[in-house]
Amino acid sequence: MTIHATADASAAGAAPEAAAVRLVSLLPATWEVSGIHCSEGTAALSLLLPGDLTPQDATARITDVLRHPALRGWTRSDSG
């Protein structure tokens, strides 16, 4: 299963590459990053998730991770 999560840093002031690294470091170890694309103000990650994880559970986990102080100002928008 692949989820595309994009973080928008309009108010964060952090480089998207730095935010992508922070986000990846906070994800569960069983998740696999299959791609990262950064552009001005955004970081998009493609994630391969364990087969027993529902999209709803994954979305909830990503939302929780984005609440971490290191990612303050970043939000999520999914396409999947």
Tokens 């069983």, located at residue: 30
Count H helices and E strands in the chain, helices first: 2, 4
Task: Give the model's pLDDT for residue 1.
Answer: 46
Q: Show the domains of the chain with their CATH numbers.
A: 2-79 (3.30.70)
**Per-residue model confidence as pLDDT tens digits over 6-33:** 666 555 567 888 888 989 999 999 999 9
Q: What is the pTM of this model?
A: 0.78
The DSSP symbol for 36 reads E
